[in-house]
Amino acid sequence: MKDVDGLNRFYEPEIAKNLKIAATLRSDDAKKRPDAYNRTNFKTLATPTKVNMGDAKYQVADPPMIITDKDIKEAAPFTTAK
């Protein structure tokens, strides 16, 4: 039987690391902005709407999160098979 996963094993640790980072960032963002993750806050429309941002100014409330190797190792539940 052919080893069809052989090509993907090389990337598995990187994929797991990226999943850990994404989960950490999502969790942090969900704590800061819970309404953005609540589906009941969004309405479904029959026709799409166009949003005009105009001269909207964007403000960053918090500095960007810095993720270290220690954070990645501590982030569960993603692990790589050895």
User: What pLDDT tens digit does each residue of the chain (82 aa) get?
Assistant: 566 777 667 777 888 888 899 999 999 999 999 998 888 888 777 777 776 666 666 655 677 778 888 877 777 665 555 4
The pLDDT value recorded for residue 14 is 85
Residue for token pair 């799409």: 48
By the 8 A CB rule, do 81 and 26 touch? no
As a whole number of angstroms, the distance between CA 15 and CA 43 comes to 34
Query: Is position 49 within any domain?
Result: no
| Count: domains in the chain | 1
The per-residue pLDDT for 55 is 63
Is residue 52 in some structural domain?
A: no
**Domain encompassing residue 33:** 1-39+67-76
Alpha carbon separation from 11 to 22, 40, 71, 76 (Å, rounded): 16, 37, 20, 19
Q: 1-16 burial by CB neighbour count: b if 16+ within 10 A, else e?
A: eeeeeeeeeeeeeeeb
**pTM for this one?**
0.52
